Amino acid sequence: MLAKAVLSPIVVRALAEDLEGGDLTTEATVDPGAVAVAYAVARSEVVVCGGDVFRAVFAEVDPMLETTSGAAEGLRVPGGTVLWSVRGSARGILMGERTALNFVQRLTGIATLARAYVDAVPKGFPARITDTRKTTPGLRALERYAVRTGGAHNHRDTLGSAVLIKDNHIALSGGITDAVRRARERAPHTSRIEVEVESLAQLDEALAAAADIVMLDNFSPDDLDEAVRRAKGRALVEVSGGITLERIPVLARAGIDVISVGALTHSANAADIGLDIQSARGQLA
Amino acid sequence: MLAKAVLSPIVVRALAEDLEGGDLTTEATVDPGAVAVAYAVARSEVVVCGGDVFRAVFAEVDPMLETTSGAAEGLRVPGGTVLWSVRGSARGILMGERTALNFVQRLTGIATLARAYVDAVPKGFPARITDTRKTTPGLRALERYAVRTGGAHNHRDTLGSAVLIKDNHIALSGGITDAVRRARERAPHTSRIEVEVESLAQLDEALAAAADIVMLDNFSPDDLDEAVRRAKGRALVEVSGGITLERIPVLARAGIDVISVGALTHSANAADIGLDIQSARGQLA
Amino acid sequence: MLAKAVLSPIVVRALAEDLEGGDLTTEATVDPGAVAVAYAVARSEVVVCGGDVFRAVFAEVDPMLETTSGAAEGLRVPGGTVLWSVRGSARGILMGERTALNFVQRLTGIATLARAYVDAVPKGFPARITDTRKTTPGLRALERYAVRTGGAHNHRDTLGSAVLIKDNHIALSGGITDAVRRARERAPHTSRIEVEVESLAQLDEALAAAADIVMLDNFSPDDLDEAVRRAKGRALVEVSGGITLERIPVLARAGIDVISVGALTHSANAADIGLDIQSARGQLA
Amino acid sequence: MLAKAVLSPIVVRALAEDLEGGDLTTEATVDPGAVAVAYAVARSEVVVCGGDVFRAVFAEVDPMLETTSGAAEGLRVPGGTVLWSVRGSARGILMGERTALNFVQRLTGIATLARAYVDAVPKGFPARITDTRKTTPGLRALERYAVRTGGAHNHRDTLGSAVLIKDNHIALSGGITDAVRRARERAPHTSRIEVEVESLAQLDEALAAAADIVMLDNFSPDDLDEAVRRAKGRALVEVSGGITLERIPVLARAGIDVISVGALTHSANAADIGLDIQSARGQLA
Amino acid sequence: MLAKAVLSPIVVRALAEDLEGGDLTTEATVDPGAVAVAYAVARSEVVVCGGDVFRAVFAEVDPMLETTSGAAEGLRVPGGTVLWSVRGSARGILMGERTALNFVQRLTGIATLARAYVDAVPKGFPARITDTRKTTPGLRALERYAVRTGGAHNHRDTLGSAVLIKDNHIALSGGITDAVRRARERAPHTSRIEVEVESLAQLDEALAAAADIVMLDNFSPDDLDEAVRRAKGRALVEVSGGITLERIPVLARAGIDVISVGALTHSANAADIGLDIQSARGQLA
Amino acid sequence: MLAKAVLSPIVVRALAEDLEGGDLTTEATVDPGAVAVAYAVARSEVVVCGGDVFRAVFAEVDPMLETTSGAAEGLRVPGGTVLWSVRGSARGILMGERTALNFVQRLTGIATLARAYVDAVPKGFPARITDTRKTTPGLRALERYAVRTGGAHNHRDTLGSAVLIKDNHIALSGGITDAVRRARERAPHTSRIEVEVESLAQLDEALAAAADIVMLDNFSPDDLDEAVRRAKGRALVEVSGGITLERIPVLARAGIDVISVGALTHSANAADIGLDIQSARGQLA
């Protein structure tokens, strides 16, 4: 559930990009009293995501438009499924069409990709797939929601939510031990401390500093196995960087706890969803 | 050139997504007076795009940060090239790093993809590659700029910029002839009238109505050739929908004037750009 | 139809100008439970414009206020006509009164002036009256709508909608021929190319460059006739600058296609519309 | 002096109306490194107003543009005077030209009209000319500044600044005496109490209630003289409604203290100011 | 009554502070279809304030939530009183809980403190208690409303509402006499002129200049009595600075007209209001 | 360090509250070219906080104003210390004075109160003092910064940063064990799981469920000791609710890890800071 206070401003800005100058075509060709109904239809198999946004877009074009949902968020549905529909002023529907599709194609695309990654984890292994902060500027709240809807997990929300000591922090401070200590002293007690490590030596230093999570960067398969062995029971083990769908089973079987995948949000393809519009009976007042 | 008035609000919102709660890690581990320099480096061949945004991001974190450009917008550069750099407060650089990269990876990704499409047009054929309105909600101004930077063209900017009579408009009005007539009567004289057609019969009707541009939807190769022949000298011919890089040469050789590609903006992968940060001499006051 | 996403932010800002500190007079003198009905009445003949804005203003003061329309947008009505009404909390009506009137007086003023210009075109001549980009900062969407409502046409919406090569562009680039060529190469194929010319020689150059529209600047009556003759069938002819109502018939009879009138938006007088408020039965909960 | 915090958001919104989609013409025809200088020139006699806004517009297009002032705010200058100039990127100047002119033409138009009203008050009479709340939605701060710059005065700023009991308040409350009493009890002690009266009887009631200011609505000349006589020394006397430039001397000689003129802001014509742009030496980095 | 246009933006920003990243706890633990009802209960005696804000917060989380009021604004109620309630989605209620309480605890705290000051004025003395401009940045409209709700009065709303010549103005201009004269010439006729004075000599100067209000700064009890005597009938007398509840009776008995108390808004403690949430029957669609 | 993108919008809104209608007093009494210097002086001992905001306020009034810092953030300084100063346009300084003070009095008040709580923890005990989400709507980023500046710690930033299962969540879900399990499955791995417990039995259930943190609600002193004993080594122990300065030593000595104090932000008194303004040499251009 996305709070209206979070969702509406994003939707309003997106509509303004398209409609500040009106809709020349629709105003010229479609009668103001005309009524229509439109169905958002998946053109191929997808994991459904974006019903709240679909509704919000049309409500911010014209509050009299009525939307309904045809498929639950997070459900995997075959091509041809009606995901949502909208009924009312034909003009209003046409004016919101592109913006609504831009949102739901992106969100459903992310949810569908997230599900593929989740499904690639072999049964019985605990690895969770997470997003990263590599989200589209301005859409983080929505894209993280899509990741959750797809069955994957979110990584930390913002730079203020949890500590992740990366190579640059280590280079610019006094090393891992010192950085972990200072982070623990300063950060909220509700936040875990994660450290990115590039070698087994760094891993040992992070574990000795009692990091809660270690992120393995570019470890060879052998080193990765060794790292998992050393960290087991002492810290969660995350891998990140260069993750592809094909690598998931191997990483999961290696005992990795968390696999963070930037591609979930920065490189998901838009889902193929179309809006089929039909004239409907009735006439607006 | 992107006007500051257009660029800054987008950048401010993106930074707020990450920094409303401060940066726990950086504040804990990096000294407030520490100085650093950071280089945005292309990890593979790209078409450069986003220098203004890179600069704006760091300026909206801390106006004292200084950015420089290492490669001109629109240039194709090999992996390893330094695209831009920033120098100043180490804290400020770390706080803006992710947001800056999220922007430039997306924009450079779009420019690079656009260039690939443009380069796929065989020499001597006039076909232009354009974007569509399938842009990321909130980022249309930036993404259209990236398309231009890549050497491709923009389609109409908004629903108020030009007329494009699509299947839904035709269905909800009284047919092509009537729709074109009404559009010509109503739309600004600076806007061309484009009509989407699904058959040679519709094409003939659009040409008879003196549409300025016809968009061929799902035509067979034979029908497409015939359509180009009928339209030549009477209207520009555009194809859209289901365009892939592989189809470009054939479409161009068929004499198509405009090939519009939604994937340029809705499915471009993020370019691989990293930020290499080093400690620098000096100390902030 | 103005999308709520475009209209609401404008209305909210306008109300905030008046109501940030509350309404001292109304809060002191009018009972919170008092109910009233108010009628927006044209004090003289006008072309009606602004019903959506009237409704939006009161809805943004108090969503419980109910508005109705008494006259269709674009209709010419005699003085004394009730244009719109609003019923509900007397306090809410009084708080929104001035802002609502400020909007509808301006929009109706523009629509009424636009109609006067349109009506000044003699029957049988095709000249269209258009606005310019000389709109009130912050109100372009509304004012362009008012122009359309008055029966006139819009010129291009923004600097991104169409090309208009003016004297300054010509001076700062390499001349008309080059400027048209570059514009055609760069601008969206949906946008026409217009060139402002100051002499018959420039006109010839623009026509030779195949400009779609030529704008005649300060031509003598004789030159204007000659210009129309040369351009006929090759480009649309627009005149702009120093247009008054009195000159319209002559310009139209000269065969001009487009007469753009900055005064429509920058110098329209506010229409005389008053709000007659009466106490009504009932009591708010 | 207008605070940046008040001025910038207004300017940013206005620029966004024009530049969200870039500037097709300028980007196509003018070299990115080209340098220009532009002079805002009054085409006829005006009272100068808007230098801060002129500067702010170009700064929000491109902070590297440099503006200078050629004539002091509030000065009456002859046609041909250079009011302000701007130097730097030719592209930037062209992109901000229209928005800058839209602002300063409006503000200078208001200041010039205000000055005309002020000058119409015969020497030796104390009548002050004021604006009303009939300002352009979104531009109240600027338009009130223009009124002051023209030498006229502002009326109350907002509904929260002072009490003005109008006919509707009287009708919806228990009459003048009661309304004044309640207003005095509730309103800030820093605010005066003004009452609109439609007859000598109402005037007497308002004076008896010790209103600080009485506003005479539609009084005959004889009644107006009588009203001034009765109110003298007891309350300030204001007239409003249907004021024209021609009536000012008579009203002033009648001893009126305040003449409020809605037309100052709702019906001022745009001043005729042009921007003369020339190529300048140099080349941007 | 707070206009929606003023209230909603404040509420939306506050909710965004909490909910941009969703509500981890609620989404994980509470079923999306669960229904609840929640009661905002005063834990101790308070003066009720904030019903509109309570309603607005939940409406901006989820417009389907229904709120009701249990106690009128401005009423003093004992601990245990249900002030407002909300019913609907359990998730929505939990997501809005903290923001709603932050608002109403603050506003009710201010109203309650204001009432205490008002009640400290002995019967029969006319002194009014007012706030100052020492309000919380971003919340002035709400806090001034709370002051009124508590029975106290507002001072001027903004720097544009009335004139208050303080020590710094006097120091930076040519003295009291000159400053009052210039203010009277320039300020709206609806605004009173107030002068802050630090001695009986300054008081005399302000009275001679016909200031409407004098503000006594740091006067000894004897001087204060003398000041009241000198000002009586010539100007309202205000005291400000270092006011505590204990001093109110003495100040009121001294004949002071206005006692302005910064602490009303800058140092009011949050009222103790809790939200008791219960599971309710039903299930959301 | 507060990012400009986070700080500026807050400052702009606050200034707009005061300055939308200009500054009547300053414009009337102070010469536009007058130069002044102003010193923000602590009137009593404080912990300094708010230099960035002080600077931002004056920069958003007039970018030419120059600010300097006289005391480091977080330093405890005696009454009489100059904290910051500003030099430039006398008008600009007076226009920003109140807003700047409103911010820094609040932030310094919070920092000073936070320091008092921190100092109340007896030496050698590890208890940390934290804030809560009971922050002023719209000012969370600033107030949390003030808490850190005072030497205390932040609790979780937003509802999306960490899990805190409170009584209402327990009531609306299936109990502690189930809630913790579901939270661990869903929440980011970077977030800790905290559970509020009201009895030793609930404590045992939370510990058995492996909660990372337990928050003890209203435990008797004996139960509190017992709770600490049971939780030691298994979970962090937090107390919240009804905390006063006087209780800190006892709670710390009991071995509590975290004491969260809503009063830090919801009931801190404004610090006594004044702005001493003097005329300075020079004259603005």
Nearest residue of D to residue F30, measured between CA atoms? D1
Residue F46 has what DSSP assignment? E
**Is C123 a known active-site residue?**
no
Q: In chain D, what's the furthest Cα-to-Cα distance? A: 74
What is the rounded average pLDDT for all residues in chain C? Answer: 96
- The active-site residue, picked from B134, B181, B230, B247, is B134
- The encoded tokens of residue A3 equal 């709070």
What is the Cα–Cα distance from B160 to B275, expressed in whole angstroms?
39
Residue B283 confidence class, pLDDT cut points 50, 70, 90: confident
Contacts of B135 (CB under 8 A, 6+ apart): A17, A102, B143, B144, B265, B266
pLDDT at F279: 87
**Is C134 a known active-site residue?**
yes
pLDDT at B242: 84
CA distances from B109 to B128, B269, C139 (A): 19, 6, 36
- List the chains bordering chain C where 3 or more Cβ pairs fall under 8 Å: A, B, D, E, F
Asked whether the beta carbons of residue D5 and residue F95 sit closer than 8 angstroms, the reply is no
Residue D285 confidence class, pLDDT cut points 50, 70, 90: low
Given CB atoms, is C95 within the 8 Å cutoff of chain E? yes
Residue E229 confidence class, pLDDT cut points 50, 70, 90: very high
- The encoded tokens of residue E67 equal 């709120």
Nearest residue of E to residue D3, measured between CA atoms? E159
pLDDT at C285: 67
Regions in chain A scoring below 70 on pLDDT = 285
pLDDT tens by residue, B174-201: 899 999 999 999 999 999 999 999 999 9
Residue D204 confidence class, pLDDT cut points 50, 70, 90: very high
Residue C250: Cβ within 10 Å count:
12
pLDDT tens by residue, E176-200: 999 999 999 999 999 999 999 999 9
- Chain D nearest-CA distance from F248, in A, is 43
Contacts of F203 (CB under 8 A, 6+ apart): F197, F214, F216, F227, F230, F231
CA distances from D58 to B59, D130, D143, E67 (A): 18, 31, 20, 48
Asked whether the beta carbons of residue D141 and residue F32 sit closer than 8 angstroms, the reply is no
Residue C208 confidence class, pLDDT cut points 50, 70, 90: very high
Given CB atoms, is F10 within the 8 Å cutoff of chain D? no
Q: Taking the alpha carbons of B202, B206, B207, B212 in that order, is the dihedral positive or negative?
A: negative
Asked whether the beta carbons of residue D1 and residue F63 sit closer than 8 angstroms, the reply is no
Asked whether the beta carbons of residue C91 and residue E161 sit closer than 8 angstroms, the reply is no
D229-250: average pLDDT: 95
Residue D281 confidence class, pLDDT cut points 50, 70, 90: confident
Picking from D111, D13, D102, D15, the residue whose alpha carbon sits closest to that of residue D65 is: D15
pLDDT tens by residue, B34-89: 999 999 999 999 999 999 999 999 999 999 999 999 999 999 999 999 999 999 99
Asked whether the beta carbons of residue C3 and residue A60 sit closer than 8 angstroms, the reply is yes
Residues F161 and A164 sit within 8 Å (Cβ to Cβ): no
pLDDT at F84: 98
Q: SS3 for A135?
A: coil
**Is C98 a known active-site residue?**
yes
**Is F98 a known active-site residue?**
yes
Percent of residues, chain D, with pLDDT higher than 90: 94
What is the Cα–Cα distance from E123 to D79, expressed in whole angstroms?
67
Q: How far is CA C49 from the centre of its chain?
A: 10
pTM of the model: 0.96
Residue B226 scores a pLDDT above 90: yes
pLDDT tens by residue, E30-57: 999 999 999 999 999 999 999 999 999 9
Picking from C99, C91, C101, the residue whose alpha carbon sits closest to that of residue C36 is: C91
- Chain B nearest-CA distance from F82, in A, is 18
- The encoded tokens of residue C236 equal 């649309």
Asked whether the beta carbons of residue C17 and residue F17 sit closer than 8 angstroms, the reply is no
Given CB atoms, is C63 within the 8 Å cutoff of chain E? yes
pLDDT tens by residue, D49-92: 999 999 999 999 999 999 999 999 999 999 999 999 999 999 99
Q: Taking the alpha carbons of A70, A71, A73, A78 in that order, is the dihedral positive or negative?
A: negative
Residues D177 and D211 sit within 8 Å (Cβ to Cβ): no
Pick C5's closest partner by Cβ from A21, A32, A61.
Answer: A61
Picking from C30, C57, C106, the residue whose alpha carbon sits closest to that of residue C283 is: C30
**Is F196 a known active-site residue?**
yes
What is the rounded average pLDDT for all residues in chain B? Answer: 96
Asked whether the beta carbons of residue A157 and residue F161 sit closer than 8 angstroms, the reply is yes
- The active-site residue, picked from F23, F73, F194, F196, is F196
Contacts of residue A3 in chain E, CB cutoff 8 Å? 15, 19, 60-62, 95-96
Given CB atoms, is E17 within the 8 Å cutoff of chain B? yes
Which amino acid appears at position E232 of this protein?
Answer: K
B86-113: average pLDDT: 97
pLDDT at A277: 93
- List the chains bordering chain D where 3 or more Cβ pairs fall under 8 Å: A, B, C, E, F
Picking from D265, D61, D252, D229, the residue whose alpha carbon sits closest to that of residue D150 is: D265
Asked whether the beta carbons of residue A10 and residue B137 sit closer than 8 angstroms, the reply is yes
Residue F125: Cβ within 10 Å count:
16
Of E140 and C280, the structure prediction assigns the larger pLDDT to E140
pLDDT at A76: 98
Nearest residue of B to residue C2, measured between CA atoms? B160
Asked whether the beta carbons of residue F5 and residue B16 sit closer than 8 angstroms, the reply is yes
Residue C1 confidence class, pLDDT cut points 50, 70, 90: confident
Nearest residue of C to residue F19, measured between CA atoms? C17
Q: How many CA atoms lie less than 13 Å away from F173 in the CB half-sphere?
A: 25
- Chain D nearest-CA distance from A64, in A, is 26
Residue D1 scores a pLDDT above 90: no
Residue A107: Cβ within 10 Å count:
31
E60-74: average pLDDT: 96
pLDDT tens by residue, A151-187: 999 999 999 999 999 999 998 888 999 999 999 999 9
Residues D179 and C94 sit within 8 Å (Cβ to Cβ): no
CA distances from D129 to A272, C21, D126, D147, E181 (A): 64, 25, 10, 9, 18
Q: In a structure prediction context, what are the per-residue pLDDT tens digits for chain F, which is 285 residues long?
A: 799 999 999 999 999 999 999 999 999 999 999 999 999 999 999 999 999 999 999 999 999 999 999 999 999 999 999 999 999 999 999 999 999 999 999 999 999 999 999 999 999 999 999 999 999 999 999 999 999 999 999 999 999 999 999 999 998 888 999 999 999 999 999 999 999 999 999 999 999 999 999 999 989 999 999 999 999 999 999 999 889 999 999 999 999 999 999 999 998 999 999 999 998 888 786
Nearest residue of A to residue D21, measured between CA atoms? A17
Nearest residue of C to residue E52, measured between CA atoms? C62
Tokens 């007539």 correspond to B181
Given CB atoms, is E64 within the 8 Å cutoff of chain A? no
Q: With a CB-CB cutoff of 8 Å, which residues 129-148 of chain D face chain F?
A: 140-141, 144-145, 148
Asked whether the beta carbons of residue A21 and residue C145 sit closer than 8 angstroms, the reply is no
Nearest residue of F to residue A257, measured between CA atoms? F189
Which amino acid appears at position C72 of this protein?
Answer: A
Q: SS3 for A128?
A: strand
- The encoded tokens of residue C78 equal 């005699």
Contacts of residue C11 in chain E, CB cutoff 8 Å? 5
Q: With a CB-CB cutoff of 8 Å, which residues 19-38 of chain A face chain B?
A: 19-31, 34, 36
Residue D192 scores a pLDDT above 70: yes
